[in-house]
Amino acid sequence: MRAPLSTVVVIATYQRAEYVEECLAHLERQTVAPHRVVVVDASPNDLTHEVVARHPGVEYRRNPLGVGHTATSRAIGVEGAEEDVIVFVDDDAYADADWLERLLEPYGDPDVAAVGGRARNGQPDEEHDGIGQIGLLLPDGRLTGYFAAAPDRVVEVDHMLGANMSVRSSVVRELGGIRDFYPGTCLREETDIALRMRRRDLRIVYTPFAVVEHVGGRYARGRRFDSRYRYFGARNHIVLLATTLGWRDPHVRTYGRTVLRRSRHEVLDGLRAFRRRKGVRARLKGLAGGVQRSSVDLTGTVAGALAAFRATSTLRRRGSER
């Protein structure tokens, strides 16, 4: 009989003490308890530390870099991990009672390197939306999400949602650990290790049966889908593709062309809004919106390309130093 897998659950957080409190309460109700829970806090105050102190057995660690370094917090959380599986859950993701038990089930197949779970968002029809396109890297370099979808079986994927994902610790060590090339909103940081796994043809699966409720905590800066969010989405995506797949991978070149086409369409949408709307203010607002979206995408992509060149140079240097 196979021995049960040991687990460490890592929670990266910044200025969300009340969410950490609720997240830990849900972890304490698991049908299969984690062997360890580690909270990595980048906050400038002690509120989260005080919360963790009220939960015996939970380990508290600090990320001195502060806001905008979620991947570094994850890396700090996995330091010294000797458990079989490393599990990541967001501070605003509240686990169902059988979450960890169901998340570990696919690891019964020794070929499975990582398992992602489902995140309910409370949106209409989310369990059916994108049900056949969960967690894919598309030929044009874009990523699909749909991590609230609920198929009737475990499915193969290319990447996972950082709010609810896990990976064998041996794989993390083999790949050289968690990397942080993703500042700002930290978009794409969780996808980094997944695409590195896929480059080595390691199996990643999504199980709809390991469920968290993703309540969507407040952002440290700005709000979701504002210009800052869009900029870092464009920047970090180029960094992701170049550092995990390599500059010569066709996904990188195709994605660059995709950005140019999308930027052109945004400008055209702005021009159409200018022609269609009534009133000078409304027409100018429509035109400015299209131009702004195009500019943010292009600026973020150029910044990402420069950052990716620096990151790949750093990786080559590290490789030569070993």
Pick the more confident residue, 253 or 37. Answer: 37
In whole angstroms, give the CA distance from residue 129 to residue 144.
Answer: 11
Q: For residue 185, tell me if it sits in a domain.
A: yes
Query: In the chain, how many domains are there?
Result: 2
User: Which of 264, 253, 269 shows the shortest CA–CA distance to 298?
Assistant: 264
Convert 110-133 to b/e letters by CB count within 10 Å (16 or more is b): eebbbbbbbbbeeeeebeeeebee
Quickly count helices (H) and strands (E) in the chain: 9, 9
Same domain, 198 and 233: no
Q: For residue 2, tell me if it sits in a domain.
A: no
Same domain, 241 and 92: no
pLDDT at 44 over 50: yes
Same domain, 149 and 266: no
Q: Residue 40 is part of a domain; what is its CATH number?
A: 3.90.550.10
Same domain, 292 and 207: no
Q: For residue 192, tell me if it sits in a domain.
A: yes
Q: For residue 221, tell me if it sits in a domain.
A: no
Q: For residue 305, tell me if it sits in a domain.
A: yes
pLDDT confidence of residue 321:
45
- Tokens representing residue 245 in the block: 């797949």
Same domain, 168 and 233: no
Mean pLDDT score across all residues of the chain: 92
Q: What confidence category does residue 149 fall into, taking pLDDT thresholds of 50, 70 and 90?
A: very high
Q: For residue 222, tell me if it sits in a domain.
A: no
Q: What confidence category does residue 215 fall into, taking pLDDT thresholds of 50, 70 and 90?
A: very high
Same domain, 174 and 91: yes
Same domain, 28 and 177: yes
End-to-end, the C-alpha distance of the chain in Å comes to 40
Same domain, 201 and 257: no
Same domain, 284 and 188: no
Same domain, 133 and 244: no
In which domain, by residue range, is 312 found? 227-321
**In 3-state terms, what secondary structure has residue 66?**
coil
Single-letter amino acid, residue 175: L
- Asked if 312 contacts 249 with a C-beta cutoff of 8 angstroms, the reply is no
pLDDT confidence of residue 210:
98
Query: Average pLDDT in the 18-24 region?
Result: 98
Same domain, 257 and 113: no
**In 3-state terms, what secondary structure has residue 204?**
strand
Give the end of a domain, one of 158, 186, 214.
214
Q: For residue 95, tell me if it sits in a domain.
A: yes
Same domain, 241 and 310: yes
**Hunting for tokens 């086409």 — which residue is that?**
261
Give the end of a domain, one of 169, 184, 214.
214
Give the end of a domain, one of 159, 188, 214.
214
- Tokens representing residue 79 in the block: 């330091």
pLDDT at 289 over 80: no
pLDDT at 220 over 70: no
pLDDT at 141 over 80: yes
Convert 180-215 to b/e letters by CB count within 10 Å (16 or more is b): bbbbbbbbbbbbbbbbbbbeeebbbbbbbbbbbbbb
User: Which pairs count as long-range contacts for 177-180, CB under 8 Å and 24+ apart, including other chains?
Assistant: 177/75, 177/78, 178/71, 178/72, 178/74, 178/75, 178/78, 179/71, 179/75, 179/243, 180/69, 180/70, 180/71, 180/72, 180/75
**Hunting for tokens 């949602």 — which residue is that?**
161
Q: For residue 193, tell me if it sits in a domain.
A: yes
Q: pTM to 2 decimals?
A: 0.90
Neighbours of 246 (CB within 10 A): 12
